Structure 1
Amino acid sequence: MKLIKTENSELEVRALNAGTAKEITEEDQTRFLQVVSTDLAPWQVEQVVTPSAVHARQEALLAVHWHPEFVPMEHIRKRVDAMFPNRTDELLIPTQHNELLSWGDYSGVEVDCFSSGFNRKVQLLLHFANDRVKDAGVLKSMLAHTFKYRSGQLFEFMDTITKPVEGRIDRAAKATGADSDLIEFVRINVSKIQQLLDENWSDIPRQSVKNKLLRNWFDTMRADLGDNTVDRIQAYLKEVKQLVKQGFNLSFFYRASEVIEEVRSLGGCIVIPHPEQFWPILLRNYDVDGIEVWNPQSQEYTEFLISVVNEQNARRDSRRDMLVFMGDDCHMGEKTKPADQQDEAKAAREIGLQPAWDDLSVRKQLIVNNISRRTIIKEYTDRLAG
């Protein structure tokens, strides 16, 4: 990781010191309510429904890996309609983290699980026709349990900073160049967040109780602290978060094989997302319908992955072909933030926008194997119907 300079300007030191009052102020209360709120102001709705570009020539829309977060589907639908006004074929399925949501005739979820074969957390995209999960009590209970992972990790994240867990703090400080002033400033602010969470727990949307809460809190300070200081804080927080994730007990999760078995019993379908992050999962020969060969976070091996899928399909005797997917991995909550507080890369992601489908070198491989958005939409729709 690139080291961040430790020399604070006099202005930065004053700004940090000014924010180290330990008592919760009215400004803190306002900031907290702002970052946990899932209600959208008119300007936020306008940002959500107004796309940055219109793709008038894209007639097939395939999107089976995206996250509504707290944004109402009605606003998302308006954005999709505006972005792709001439679409004639479509398959859109939301995949909220560990929460089953529906769009039209289909429901989906991105579930965290555990692959014992290589001892790490992985993720699977689960897709269903709505009637398949109407009474899916076991699956919904599994998801409810797994949903607690993200809030549980937030509490460990905060405890690491506030107690503090010295080993993790020292490692994060060395990796990012965070000095004692910055570390203390973060500790005091995270302590305030913990207290405000406890005081307002019954009124806080559970969708807001995740690691992003800390990032969003400090992003609201950019006007007071400046981008340089907040960027240094965010780098330090990100490093602490990674250390917390590394130490998280994997036994909390259901095994990938258990999740797959339950999905198949319900007649659902399964896709492996961003496999570049989970290479070994491709070697486990799990019973899945397809893999993502492209994702905004995983773009380096697209052509190689397509060739692997094609070779595997050529050798299959009885099982259905593995399908090729591309995931936009769009997080709609990012589009509700003020422009100067958005993560530029995440904000650029759009539902159904997967440029690799139209890349000339990628298309060359897809065409010879009769793979396109339309062929995948038809085949996957048939599978979802059973």
Structure 2
Amino acid sequence: MRSIDPMNPAAWDPAITEQDHAVFERVISTDLSDEKLKELASPPLTLPVQQSVMAVHWHPEFVPMPVIEQRVHNMFPAMTESLIIPTQHNEILEYGDFSGVEVDCYSHGFNQKVQLLLHFATARLDHAHTLRAMLRHTLTYRASQLFDFMHTITAPLEDRIEQAARETGADLDLVEFVRHHVTKVQRMVEDNHARLPQDALKNKLLRNYFDALRPVYDSELIDRIQTYLSAVKAIVKTHFSLRYFYRTSEVIEEVRALGGGIIIPHPEQFWPILLADYDVDGYEVWNPQSQRYTDFLITVVGRVNACEGLSQRRKLVFMGDDTHMGEKVKDVSQRNSEKANREIGYQPAWDDLELSKRLILSGMSREIVIREYRERLLG
């Protein structure tokens, strides 16, 4: 049932209602029905011919790994060789003989937060106590950004709110409407903090909460709210201190001590990292949101390898599907369709005829990279 006049403050109940609780519980829930699990195990896309499958940048979120494994096998029924490693944000997860994580860290040289994809033969992690502690710290600190996000809206921090409103054309009624609802979300998070799943303590909680209000309020209003929230989030991120992240060099040192592999994902998001000369195994040159410079990045990797010669391990070319399995759990009306359509192991750029020319000249292919990187991780 839709609210007749959502912008009338007289109709806003400051108390947390049963409906508020129900929406919140639905948004934070990680419970999956048998029907949903069956759906998740059955991908809409099947590649019956592809034999080599590489997926070293994807996020299981709260979807059970056996279901994901079944989905991968259903999508690639002819698969004979593979390297499939999950990369949950700041949390090591295992798939078969390998484990992985995508970690946030801080590059002091160009003063920017970056991400690294870390991969391991699972057997090497028996004594990874320091790395696990570093990841726990990073996960906790990263989650604190949600509280900054909510505080900016509910306090409110006027300079940030005014900037976001100017950038998006949000009027005072919309700003106050958002503050009213975020105040409730903030209270529910605080009241239930001890039992909340870790996956809930992310900025996307607010986006998902307002998406869940679409049956109550006009979708056009929710779209305007999401635009405004995105602007606020971007401003919050610019004020989020980087000093509490571990330095990129510290993470790399710990990973190398454990015999792990390191890939830089979507480097065009932080171009200076290409010049930082970090000890990494390779660069991700393509993923669904980073396709513009694929050809250029393949050339860069080839040039780096030519300069280093045979005395050092060459840099490898990777492609990441960056699949977020949690996006597939949402109702169709609330999904980010671009994210929801990504699939683990689906990287069509490997088969692009134009890119194939560059890959061949660089001595790269999906099969070559699978075998070479696997050897490094097991070596």
Length-normalised TM-score, structure 2: 0.97
Instruction: Report the Cα distance in structure 2 between the residues aligned to 1:351 and 1:256, rounded to whole angstroms.
Output: 27
Separation in 2, partners of 1:219, 1:78:
30
Identify the residue that residue 213 of structure 2 maps to in structure 1: 221
Contact 2:60 2:325 (C-alpha < 8 Å) held by counterparts: yes
Shift of 1:365: 1.2
Equivalence map 1:316-335=2 (5 Å): 316-317=308-309, 318-335=311-328
CA distance in 1, matches of 2:298, 2:360: 11
- Which residue, 306, 327, 331 being the options, matches 1:338? 331
SS at structure 2 position matched to 1:55: coil
3-state SS of 1:366 partner: helix
Residues 103 and 115 in structure 2, CA contact (< 8 A), matched pair in contact too: yes
Residue 308 (structure 1) aligns with: 300
The residue that corresponds to 1:172 in the other structure is: 164
- Give the equivalent residue in structure 2 for 1:7: none
Which of the numbers 67, 70, 88 marks the counterpart of 2:62? 70
How far apart are residue 44 of structure 1 and its match? 2.7
Show the counterpart of 1:44.
Answer: 36
Answer with 176-185 or 108-117: which moved more.
176-185
Structure-2 residue corresponding to 1:56:
48
Is the 1:45–1:336 Cα contact (8 Å) retained in structure 2?
no
- In the alignment, what sits opposite 1:80? 72
- Once the two structures are superposed, what CA deviation does each residue of 1:287-341 show, in whole Å capped at 9, x if it has no partner? 0000000011110010111011111111113210000000111110000000010
**SS of match in other structure, 1:225:** coil
Between the aligned partners of 1:150 and 1:68, the Cα distance in structure 2 is: 18
* Residue 341 of structure 2: aligned partner: 348
Q: Does 1:14 align with 2:21?
A: no
How far is the alpha carbon of 1:380 from its aligned partner?
0.3
2:22 aligns with: 30
Partner residue, 2:136 = 144
Query: Is the aligned partner of 1:188 residue 2:180?
Result: yes
Partner of 1:3: none
C-alpha contact (below 8 Å) 1:269/1:288 kept by paired residues: yes
For structure 2, list consecutive stretches of 5 or more residues without a partner in the other structure: none
For each residue in 1:40-59, what CA deviation from the matched residue of structure 2 results, as whole angstroms up to 9, or x when unmatched? Answer: 12343233222121111211
CA–CA distance in 2 between the matches of 1:17 and 1:36? 28
Aligned equivalents of 1:376, 1:24: Cα separation in 2: 53
Cα offset, 1:13, TM superposition: 7.6
- Give the superposition deviation at 1:150: 2.8
Q: Which whole-Å deviations, capped at 9, do the CAs of 1:130-186 have from their partners, x for residues lacking one? A: 111112010000000000133200000000000000011001001111111111111
Q: Match for 2:337: what amino acid?
A: E
Q: Percent identity?
A: 56
**Kept after mapping to 1: 8 A contact 2:3/2:216:** no
Number of equivalent positions:
376
Q: Is the contact between residue 47 and residue 335 of structure 1 (CA under 8 Å) also seen in structure 2?
A: no
Question: What amino acid does structure 2 have at the position aligned with 1:223?
Answer: P
Does residue 280 in structure 1 map to residue 281 in structure 2? no
| Runs of 4+ residues deviating >4 angstroms | none
**RMSD (Å), alpha carbons:** 1.4
CA distance in 1, matches of 2:226, 2:307: 48
1:130 aligns with 2:122: yes
Checking the alignment, whether the CA contact within 8 Å between 2:27 and 2:209 is kept in structure 1 is: yes
Question: Secondary structure of 2:285's match?
Answer: strand
Corresponding residue of 1:5: none
Query: Which residue of structure 2 aligns with residue 160 of structure 1?
Result: 152
8 Å contact from structure 2 (residues 55, 321) kept in 1: yes
Q: Do the aligned residues in 1 keep the contact of 2:59 with 2:86 (CA within 8 Å)?
A: yes
Letter of the 2:371 partner, please give it: K
Q: Give TM-score scaled by structure 1 length.
A: 0.95
Partner of 1:375: 368
Question: Counterparts of 2:195 and 2:8 in 1: how far apart (Å)?
Answer: 31
